[in-house]
Amino acid sequence: MKIAMWSGPRNLSTALMYSFASRADCAATDEPFYAAYLAATGIDHPMRDAVIASQPTDPARVAAFLTGPNPDGKPHWYQKHMTLHLIPTFDRGFLKKLTNAFLIRHPAQVIASYARKREAPMLADLGVVQQAELFDLVADLTGTAPPVISAEAIRADPRAALTRLCAALDLPFDPAMLSWPAGPKPQDGVWAPHWYGAVHRSTGFEPPEGALPDLPAAFRRLADQAMPHYDRLAALAL
């Protein structure tokens, strides 16, 4: 099975990748379209040159890799994706060959986390609009609505949430998914030193976050723009 998990940044996505990579039967790949996205858009991100040098920039080559043999002969392959990386000019037909799923997080939490790493995020940076559009596309391509899981549900009860997610993917739950060793991981992208400090200190999912952050006015407006797209997927969450 090739599991393509689509989220925006700061969505618990790296921790969930570590969770799946902790399974003995599962390989993992970190944001394979990142270099192609940066090269195609010209957008400036931290460590841009290093990211572009580390991965193929041809989206067709990336898609061929993702639909090819699983790494190390593993039965399952977890692919961590950012929705904003799959820009509209990239062919998306390869999605039919993957088992797609969606990881969501409340926009206020995403914005607060993202702003600590990159100033003044815009709506396009959050990936939530692209996430809703991609959800519809996958449903149309496959004839089935893909599963949606929330970061909040995972943090509230990792075992229960991951059991539901695995069941939706037709994959047995493995208790190994509940923990991992601290520090960098072999599957980390080269951008890990900038973005993954907190998750590298972790050995499992953090506890629930509590109340939503009190955002500045500009960020509240950004959250308001994102909420209709988030709410539509949240209503479908496992």
Q: 110-120: per-residue pLDDT in tens?
A: 988 876 766 67
Q: Give the number of other CB atoms < 10 A from CB of residue 70.
A: 13
pLDDT at 166 > cutoff 70? yes
pLDDT at 130 > cutoff 90? yes
Residue position matching structure tokens 């700061």? 10
pLDDT at 216 > cutoff 90? no
Q: For residue range 1-13, what is the model confidence (pLDDT) as tens digits?
A: 999 999 998 889 9
Average pLDDT over residues 86-112: 95
CATH numbers and ranges of domains, the chain: 2-234 (3.40.50.300)
Residues 179 and 29: their CA atoms lie apart, in Å, by 18
In terms of pLDDT, which residue wins out, 105 or 46? 105
| Cβ–Cβ < 8 Å for 209, 105 | no
As a whole number, the mean pLDDT across the chain is: 95
pLDDT, position 120: 75
